[in-house]
């Protein structure tokens, strides 16, 4: 059960960012900044809080999100491809830095795991 305080804190991630608000030098990054939103999404996948998204964690989230829409074989293929394309340091997991570099949605709105440092047509 989520209490009201937790609900409000989670909801704050989805507020639009006020770009006209002056920034203070010692101010923490706003909870609704792009980086904070990415960290929030990353933490949904990183279920053991070790700072990495493993293949098993990715599979667990994909199973929850896609339920019965795809076969286990398809899910495993998606997870393997995602790890292969996003894992820049070769440790078979996705760190937050690697997660930030991945383009999550292409222009057509399809899931895309191509790292942002890879240019189209190369």
**pLDDT per residue as tens digits for the range 40-82:** 888 989 999 999 999 999 999 888 888 778 888 998 998 999 9
Compute the residue count for the chain: 122
DSSP state of 21: S
Q: Above 90 in pLDDT, residue 17? A: no
Q: What is the pTM of this model?
A: 0.64
76 vs 106: which has the higher pLDDT? 76
Residue identified by tokens 């996705």 is: 94
For residue 66, give the 3-state DSSP assignment: helix
Contact predicate 17/33, CB 8 Å: yes
Q: Which two tokens stand for residue 51?
A: 């700072």
The highest-level CATH class for domain 31-122 is mainly alpha
Q: Please check whether residue 75 is in contact with residue 61, taking contact to mean a CB–CB distance below 8 angstroms.
A: no
């Amino acid at each position: 059960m989520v209490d009201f305080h937790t609900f409000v804190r989670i909801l704050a991630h989805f507020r639009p960012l006020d770009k006209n608000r002056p920034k203070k030098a010692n101010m923490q990054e706003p909870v609704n900044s792009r980086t904070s939103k990415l960290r929030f999404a990353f933490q949904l996948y990183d279920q053991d809080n070790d700072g990495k998204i493993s293949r098993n964690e990715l599979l667990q989230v994909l199973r929850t999100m896609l339920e019965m829409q795809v076969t286990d074989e398809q899910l495993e293929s998606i997870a393997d491809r995602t790890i292969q394309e996003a894992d820049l340091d070769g440790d078979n997991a996705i760190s937050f830095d690697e997660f930030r570099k991945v383009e999550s949605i292409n222009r057509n709105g399809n899931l895309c795991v191509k790292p942002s440092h890879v240019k189209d047509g190369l």
